[in-house]
Amino acid sequence: MSNRYIVSQAAEPAAEPVSVAEFKSFLRITHDSEDSVLADYLKAARLFCENYTGKAFISRAYKIIFDRLDDPNIIPLVKMPLVSVSTVKTYDLDNITTTVSSDDYSVDVDAGRILMKYGAVLNLPARDTRILEVDFTAGFGAAASDVPESIKQAILMKATQMYEERGDVPVSAPFDMIAALLKPYKKIGAV
């Protein structure tokens, strides 16, 4: 048996790790006629890289809803780097929520998880859906300058690949280089 969950983000990040101006400079583009297309490629490249690494690059709020939890003493949060946990709620059989006191758990930001303190018990219902909900924030920081440079380079390379191959069937292109840049940030292991 394994954890079963759904993760959603509350809003898009406030900024992209790579700006359109930086992308245009990288591509040596001097006109503004494709700015919106370039912005779309940057967003798609960021999403690709975030999905590959399992990380959030720009900090933002997330909600994870568990339908099943293997160990109620260890609550894994699937987006890293973990910044903070704002609420932990359990659901009873009538869908009434109870907020778990922060005195009952500690947050392990390095491992991206919540650890229940000794003696604290999560009262999880015996049902198949929505037993636990956690609101948390993950990301390297609120600004593009907080994102590691190698991640920005991977985003630039992926966005460039999409720009240069638009309308064509993509070739394997520089994924080896993109993967190498992202590898130090790739989340290892199952949640």
Using left for φ > 0, alpha for ψ between -120 and 50, and beta otherwise, residue 67 falls in alpha
Please say whether the dihedral angle defined by the alpha carbons of residues 167, 171, 172 and 175, taken in this order, is positive or negative.
negative
Listed in order, strand segments (DSSP E) in the chain are 4-9, 60-68, 74-76, 82-91, 97-99, 105-108, 113-116, 132-138
Contact 78, 64 (CB under 8 A): yes
Token pair belonging to 104:
């009952």
In the predicted model, is pLDDT for residue 168 greater than 80?
Answer: no
What number is the average pLDDT over the span 64-83?
A: 92
Chain-centroid distance, C-alpha 114: 17
pLDDT at 8: 92
Of 55 and 128, the structure prediction assigns the larger pLDDT to 55
Distance between CA atoms of residues 129 and 67, nearest Å: 4
Q: How far is CA 117 from CA 88, 106, 109, 126, in A?
A: 14, 7, 15, 22
Distance between CA atoms of residues 154 and 175, nearest Å: 9
Per residue, the 3-state secondary structure of 50-73, as one string, reads HHHHCECCECEEEEEEEEECCCCC
- In this prediction the pTM is 0.84
What number is the average pLDDT over the span 31-51?
A: 94
Amino acid symbol at 4:
R
Of 183 and 97, the structure prediction assigns the larger pLDDT to 97
Of 29 and 188, the structure prediction assigns the larger pLDDT to 29
Model confidence at 191, in pLDDT bands (50, 70, 90)?
Answer: very low
What number is the average pLDDT over the span 13-19?
A: 95
What number is the average pLDDT over the span 46-73?
A: 93
Domains along the chain with CATH numbers = 16-54+143-185 (1.10.3230), 60-138 (no CATH)
In the predicted model, is pLDDT for residue 129 greater than 50?
Answer: yes
Mean pLDDT, rounded, of the chain? 89
In the predicted model, is pLDDT for residue 22 greater than 70?
Answer: yes
Distance between CA atoms of residues 189 and 156, nearest Å: 27
pLDDT at 178: 77
In the predicted model, is pLDDT for residue 43 greater than 70?
Answer: yes
pLDDT at 181: 77
